[in-house]
Amino acid sequence: MPDVSALEACLDEILEVEFTFRNTAQPAREIACLSEIERNYVIDWVRRVASTNVELGYQYACHVVRARAGMEREQVEAWALHAMDTYDREGLRPALQVILQLDDFVRISRE
C-alpha cells in the first residue's frame, strides 16, 4: 500500500487546501487502497476536475472510489465531464449535485 500521507499531500496541493476547511485524509485513505494504475488514473481525474473548480474536485475525490466500484472508467469519466459541463453552464451548486447524486448516475448508466 502506498504512503497515505504522500497521497494526502498530493491531494492537498491539487485541491489548494492550505486556507480551507477541506480535509483530504479520508479520500487519500480510500485512493491508497487502489492499484497503482487506478491511483494514477484517479489522481489525474481529480486534477482535471479541480482545474474547473477546486471544490468540485474535492467532492469528486471524496466520491470517486465509490464511483469506480459501481461503474466502468468510461462511465466515471462521463460523470466527471457531466459535472464539469454543468459547472460551466449552471454554476457550482448544480455541478455539486451531479457529484453528490452519484447513485442516480450509476443507476441511469446501467439502464
90-104 exposure pattern, b = at least 16 Cβ within 10 A, e = fewer: eeeeebbebbeebee
Write out the chain's pLDDT in tens, 111 residues. Answer: 678 999 999 999 999 998 888 999 999 999 999 999 999 999 999 999 999 999 999 999 999 999 999 899 999 999 999 999 999 999 999 999 999 999 998 888 777
Q: What is the pLDDT of residue 15?
A: 96
Domain ranges in the chain are: 4-110
DSSP class of residue 6 equals H
Rg over alpha carbons for the chain, rounded to the nearest Å, is 13
List the one residue out of 16, 104, 20 whose CA is nearest residue 67. Answer: 104
Q: What global pTM score does this model have?
A: 0.93
* pLDDT of amino acid 13: 96
